[in-house]
Amino acid sequence: MNTDKLSVRLETVAKYVPFGARVADIGSDHAYLPSYLAKNGRISFGIAGEVAKGPFQSAEKNVMAEGLSDIISVRMGDGLEVIQPGDADCITIAGMGGSLIADILDKGKEKLATVRRLVLQPNINAIAIRQWLIDNEWELISEEIIEEDNKIYEILAAEKGDALKPYRDVPFETGILVGPFLLQRKEAPFTKKWLLEKKNWKRIYEQLESAAPSAETEEKKQEVVKKINLIEEVLDNEESEWS
């Protein structure tokens, strides 16, 4: 991956950045995403935000080497603290856990006043982001699920709006866990992901079965069974090499 050729994962994130946007990429690492967008004339301004010194320095180095310093500002800081109100109309946060992404958005809520689109790519725990979007009145407008190098990624795009709209045509508990749009499409990476999760929960259940009985163990077992049942319903009891 470099500033000319992104991974499929980051290219999918890039696809949801509106043409001409002022984008802030939080946790930008090498600044590949904003650099790629700037080189292709897709953004009018970019911020590459980084909390860690090493990635910040490599973002600075890349942006300078590409001659993009007029368009991209590389800033060191925690989450949305690198942006001032009005700096950005689109925020991308990719390659972190869903809880961390939700936390970054929550801590920087006041910076979101002028932001019109969020493009978020959690590596795990996308449910934490879907919950945050609902709690903060952001409407999920699109979801994608892709497989690259044997890993499965979800990409979520949201805009201010009717946060519950995507959940009206699906069972809420299932929709928030697996994604309301992804649930309706059930593409191959989706099926693979949830068969793997089910297998994992079955393993956890077996471990709990052999643990010393207690009220806590029983409660955990019930939670796990609930999740397994939910996924079995989603997958219509589909079996495969991953089940």
Residues 7-46 that bind ligand SAM (CB under 6 A): 10, 26-29
Pick one of 37, 43, 63, 79: the residue that binds ligand SAM (CB under 6 A). Answer: 79
Q: In terms of CB distance, is 132 or 167 closer to ligand SAM?
A: 132
Q: What does the block give as tokens for 147? A: 């497989």
Spatial strand order in the sheet of 151-160: 72-76, 43-50, 21-26, 90-96, 117-122, 151-160, 138-148
- Min dist CB 26 to ligand SAM, Å, is 5
- Using a 10 angstrom Cβ sphere, with 0-12 exposed, 13-18 middle and 19 or more buried, the burial of residue 11 is middle
Pick one of 18, 55, 97, 189: the residue that binds ligand SAM (CB under 6 A). Answer: 55
Q: Residue 52 interacts with ligand SAM (CB under 6 A)?
A: yes
- Min dist CB 167 to ligand SAM, Å, is 27
Q: What does the block give as tokens for 34? A: 């904003």
- The count of residues interacting with ligand SAM (CB under 6 A) is 16
Strand 43-50, strand 21-26: pairing: parallel
Q: Residue 97 interacts with ligand SAM (CB under 6 A)?
A: no
Q: Are 84 and 57 in contact (CB under 8 A)?
A: no
Residues 100-159 that bind ligand SAM (CB under 6 A): 104
Nearest-angstrom CA–CA distance, 24 and 74: 10
Nearest-angstrom CA–CA distance, 28 and 49: 6
- Min dist CB 24 to ligand SAM, Å, is 10
Q: In the complex, which residues of this chain contact ligand SAM (CB under 6 A)?
A: 10, 26-29, 49-52, 55, 78-79, 94-96, 104
